[in-house]
Structure 1
Amino acid sequence: MKDFEHLISVWQGQPKQEQLSVDEVLKQVKKGVRSITSQLYWGIVAMVVMVALTFVITFFFVFQWLTYMGLFIMLITMMAYAARIVRNYRILNKHDATQNPTDYLQDLKEYQKNQAKIAGWFYYMYVMLISLGLSLYLVEVLDSAPLYYKIGFYSFTIIWILFMTFYYKKRIFKNQEEKLNLIIDRLERLQGQFES
């Protein structure tokens, strides 16, 4: 009985969570979502430019069949990645947080689940296919280049792919995940205020 009374006193001694201001939370949520959607928007712009450039190279230059295979692999992979980015962008821009915060919270959780998939297998698949396509493309393009130029270019490409895979991916996805977790936490706390 003594332990139970001690437990109650400790529980009652816990500081109460301060009440969140609805306006302040919604302002912070909009700012966080705007930051994420801005990154997605520029990702979409970059993908559209890269797809257009690859399309022009593929259909307006003459290559051997192996080079075309590499270009088509890159083109299809970039279009698939662009479709995922556009989908996530639409999820975040679909609703206004002030209209229906419960639906908005569900959309954010769906976006978070999609990001977990992208951060996992899809990103590695994307890098692997882009690397394969680039390798097939470079076989013909660098065929007549001097050996030191080939070694330098291949080395730079390998270092760039490793950088994008192991450093940049973790940094970008971790940053987005932290922002998203903070936004979801604030909305859940706000929702909890109104339910209790």
Structure 2
Amino acid sequence: MKDFDHLMSVWQGQPKPDQLSVDEVLKQVKKGIRSITTRLYWTIIAMAAIAVFAFVVTFFLAFNSWVTTVGILIVLVTMLMYLSLIVRHYHILSKRDATLNPSEYLDGLKAYQKTRTKIIGWFYYIYILLISTGLALYFAEVLSTSSLPFKLLTYGSIIIWFLFTTFYLKPRMFKNEEEKLNLMIDRLVRLKEQFD
């Protein structure tokens, strides 16, 4: 009997799991989503500006070779595809309100994370490949009168930049966003379990 009383006192003395404040969790989730949507918003603005510039270059500058025009068109179409993807993700994240139905919001956030991870995984490599191809075709004419060292420097810089963005920058950017989404989803799951 003495052991049972001791066991009960130890069990009752265990710290209770922290109860999450609904307001605090929703405030943190909104802040995290706002951070992601703000970054997406500025990416949309930058991509739109670059796409307009590529459009102007394609249709208002005269080139001697059709290969150059094809290169710029490849870059332009690739940027428009990426822009449409970002706009879609921006609308998915910004149209929902976590306070209206947190359970539905949680399911939507999980679906967004799953879809974004899958799409970004394969689309990024297609994006890099198409941009590289477009720039290589564009620079074929633009650098035709340049010296060999300058051509090598230009193409080498482009290759280094794409390797840097693919193998260094991309994993860190998407890991950071993935961690933010995981944290928000974890908080919402804990909040949901608290009320179940």
Change beyond 3 A, Cα 1:94–1:151: same
Rounded to whole Å, the distance in 2 between the matches of 1:177 and 1:130 is 25
Change beyond 3 A, Cα 1:184–1:150: same
Match for residue 7 of structure 2?
A: none
1:23-64: CA deviations, max 9, x gaps?
A: 110111011111111111111111101111110000001121
User: Within 5 Å, which residues of 2 pair with 1:24-103?
Assistant: 24-63=24-63, 64-103=65-104
Q: CA RMSD in A?
A: 1.7
Match for residue 21 of structure 2?
A: 21
Q: CA deviation at 1:104?
A: 1.3
Q: CA deviation at 1:114?
A: 2.3
Change beyond 3 A, Cα 1:12–1:54: farther
Change beyond 3 A, Cα 1:148–1:11: farther
1:148-171: CA deviations, max 9, x gaps?
A: 211111111110010111111001
Rounded to whole Å, the distance in 2 between the matches of 1:135 and 1:186 is 46
Rounded to whole Å, the distance in 1 between the matches of 2:57 and 2:90 is 28
Q: Are 1:55 and 1:75, in contact at CA under 8 Å, matched by a contact in 2?
A: yes
Q: Are 1:88 and 1:114, in contact at CA under 8 Å, matched by a contact in 2?
A: no
What amino acid maps onto 1:66 in structure 2? Answer: V
Rounded to whole Å, the distance in 2 between the matches of 1:58 and 1:66 is 12
Mean CA deviation greater in 10-19 or 49-58: 10-19
1:139-193: CA deviations, max 9, x gaps?
A: 0011111222111111111100101111110010000000000000101111111
Unaligned runs of 5+ in 2: 1-9
Match for residue 182 of structure 1?
A: 183
Q: Are 1:119 and 1:169, in contact at CA under 8 Å, matched by a contact in 2?
A: no
What amino acid maps onto 2:33 in structure 1? Answer: V
What amino acid maps onto 1:28 in structure 2? Answer: Q
Change beyond 3 A, Cα 1:14–1:83: farther
Work out which of the two has the higher radius of gyration on C-alpha atoms and give 1 or 2. Answer: 2
Aligned residues: 186
**Identity across the alignment (%):** 60
Mean CA deviation greater in 170-179 or 64-73: 64-73
Q: TM-score, normalised by structure 2?
A: 0.90
1:73-111: CA deviations, max 9, x gaps?
A: 111111111111011100100111111112211221122
- State the 4+ residue runs in structure 1 displaced beyond 4 angstroms: 10-15
Q: CA deviation at 1:11?
A: 9.5
Match for residue 128 of structure 2?
A: 127
Q: CA deviation at 1:118?
A: 3.3
Q: CA deviation at 1:13?
A: 8.7
